[in-house]
Chain A
């Protein structure tokens, strides 16, 4: 398409070359990776649940979840969040039977791999273990959506509208809540 265009308007080749380069770049940016590979399981070796460690501190490395920069994957996560009844306990992020997900409190860690571990392994005060029940690739999509709820994803990636009745601001308008590894599990003693 660019070459045809260039042939019929040979008067401004340099401009056209620049234009074509831009167009190609734009095409590339639009190219969507519908099923990017989830991060290697080995990466989860870097996560930990306590900020305290004996001796020299380890380097904090955040797991990279490529879905967090992929609007389609986050939208998939948003749909899966309902399909697997996550919303039944966590509502649209404000919580209910389960704790809120849209605030900055991360009982079991805010790293994407921590969230994946929470979904797969469950947690002792009532989070069910979904290991073997949800494909792992979908769990990473869910983890990306979960982090969007507290405003941690880029605004052009986070969902801009709910699929259902409006009950809160959409994720891309949610104030970024800096993750705080704070509190204990929302146990009976209510000490979170």
Chain B
């Protein structure tokens, strides 16, 4: 699975590659995936085979790792509807497949979850779960636990109503579906629901915290990461921004958007909820990874959850109760002044609130957040969280927008800029128990790739120029780097090959929201292109071009 374990650590216990010999890394083999859009997927390794899923048209490749050069074992083409490309907000990405029990599971851009036999490449089942004519797509990587496949939808910029769905892993039939807005019955809120904070208690808040009917087109999609705690049998996932972005069109807290749910795996019943950004003002989706960590904190062994949010705070929470233990800025923030730990409430800065007809300048972090989807990694050895993130601010003007099914429902003009210091990205290590940054590496472009960390003390990540880097997990010192063919926005995978050696794999191919200017061939003269991201990325086409190549590295023998 992309997160490596249920807790989402992205930690490999391998130590053949270490801080001393990482400089000897070299390319072992490469593979062109034949699609030139943003490559956000993690290569998955199981049964001596590597599985890679491409952006639309979501081709699934199986590569034989037992033979030299990684020959193709089979490929599966799901043939998703071409029109799905027109309703995918931020490039036509896919965040990866997952392997479980002899099957590979993945989602297609046109809202299908598909199970394929890992050995033969034959389709086992496919489930149609959403409707592109309503603006719904699917881009996330499923999580498979026991007999359940957990999947969610995308489309928070299209007035989509968000949901997470558990499918039966053997048949694809829906076991349960929990919406992120609407009456408690739809959200699967019942008598097991005990949120920690007063603000999240009450009946049908998913209706009452909205203007009439607005919850039906209110967003809260589930396109990020799902983690699972076997001891509690709880799944954790975040909900995305409310729609439209223009907050004046949806007075209220807009439950249950921009928050986190803990749910029972078997029934889907909600256990607790916490809202990172009540009545979100800045497109701060709450879908970033919630990494489950067991640590000594405050003198006690605690079962915790750590979450770096788009709103700029890194949250440490008790994962049993949903109590916030700390919420500390990990990037420059002007849109809020802190989190009130008594009420749990984010304290917005009124001066940064978007106002219809006015330009509100220099709000930080910008809409992609201090950190977007790009998953961080946690090392149980260093107890550090390794966070790839952004350093962006933006000017905005809220505008009136109308809901037209299947078209964007945003209502915000945006132009983004580099944040303080001029660098647009950063890769940092965070001491989770202490709640402070240990080291950080400034990157020119947003650090839009995921991270992976190993027992050998090496952290891997990529940059949008195309560098794939290995750095020292303790100090952040650069150990090695290699320039790939295109910008990197993928997720590194560390694995032991059938020959016993340690390998690290990464997809190279720029795109995603940050790289849309290159992947979509956008015009740099319009700063508002790609929801305002182009304003901050005008020089990206001078640094990299589209690509779609898998690179696998190993130590020189």
Contact = CB atoms under 8 A, between A and B. Distances in A.
Contacts of A97: 86-89, 408
Interface string B498-537: 0000000000000000001001111111111111101100
Chain B CB within 10 Å, residue with most, of A83, A189, A190: A190
Interface in A124-153: 124-128
Interface stretch (A11-19, A32-40, A61-69, A84-92): A84-92
Given A84-B404, A96-B516, A190-B519, A167 B535 contact: yes
B529 A165 contact: no
Contacts of B531: 91, 96
B28 interface: no
A179 interface: no
Given A100-B523, A167-B415, A190-B36, A95 B86 contact: no
B85 interface: yes
Interface string B336-377: 000000000000000000000001000000000000000000
Contacts of A99: 520-521
Nearest to A89: B408
Size category of the binding interface on chain A: 35 or more
Nearest to A133: B404
B70 interface: no
Contacts of A88: 157, 401, 407-410
A82 interface: yes
A164 B87 CA distance: 24
Contacts, number: 139
Interface string A157-179: 00000001101110000100000
B154 interface: no
Contacts of B86: 89, 97-98, 125-128
Nearest to B509: A190
Contacts of A164: 397, 399, 413
B55 interface: yes
Contact of A94 (B89, B397, B526): B526
A95 B523 contact: yes
Contacts of A3: none
Given A100-B521, A126-B84, A126-B87, A188 B526 contact: no
Nearest to A126: B86
Residue of A94, A99, A164, A174 with most partner-chain B CB within 10 A: A94
Interface in B384-425: 395-397, 399, 401-402, 404, 406-410, 413, 415
A91 B92 CA distance: 17
Given A89-B86, A95-B520, A189-B36, A167 B402 contact: no
A111 interface: no
A125 to B, nearest CB: 5
B528 A92 contact: yes
A188 B359 contact: no
Interface string B80-101: 0011111111001000000000
Contact of A91 (B359, B406, B521, B526): B526
Contact of A85 (B92, B407, B525): B407
Contacts of B282: none
A100 to B, nearest CB: 4
Contacts of B359: 165
Given A167-B413, A190-B37, A128 B525 contact: no
A102 interface: yes
B177 interface: no
B36 A165 contact: no
Interface string B418-444: 000000000000000000000000000
B408 A94 contact: no
A189 B396 CA distance: 33
Nearest to B86: A126
A51 B92 CA distance: 30
Contact of B85 (A91, A100, A102, A125): A125
A128 B84 CA distance: 10
B93 to A, nearest CB: 11
A53 interface: no
Contacts of B34: 189
Contact of A191 (B36, B408, B530): B36
A89 B85 CA distance: 11
A89 B522 CA distance: 11
B550 to A, nearest CB: 17
Interface string B23-56: 0000000000011110000000000000000011
A99 B519 CA distance: 11
Contacts of B529: 91-92, 94-96, 100
A109 interface: no
Nearest to B545: A190
A192 interface: yes
B546 interface: yes
**What 5 A-B pairs are tightest by C-beta distance, nearest first?**
A126-B86, A88-B408, A94-B526, A94-B529, A190-B36
Interface of B: 34-37, 55-57, 82-89, 92, 157, 359, 395-397, 399, 401-402, 404, 406-410, 413, 415, 516, 519-532, 534-535, 546
Given A167-B413, A188-B57, A189-B36, 20 more contacts: A84-B404, A85-B401, A85-B402, A88-B407, A91-B534, A92-B528, A95-B520, A95-B521, A95-B530, A96-B522, A96-B530, A124-B82, A126-B83, A126-B88, A128-B407, A164-B397, A165-B415, A188-B85, A189-B35, A192-B521
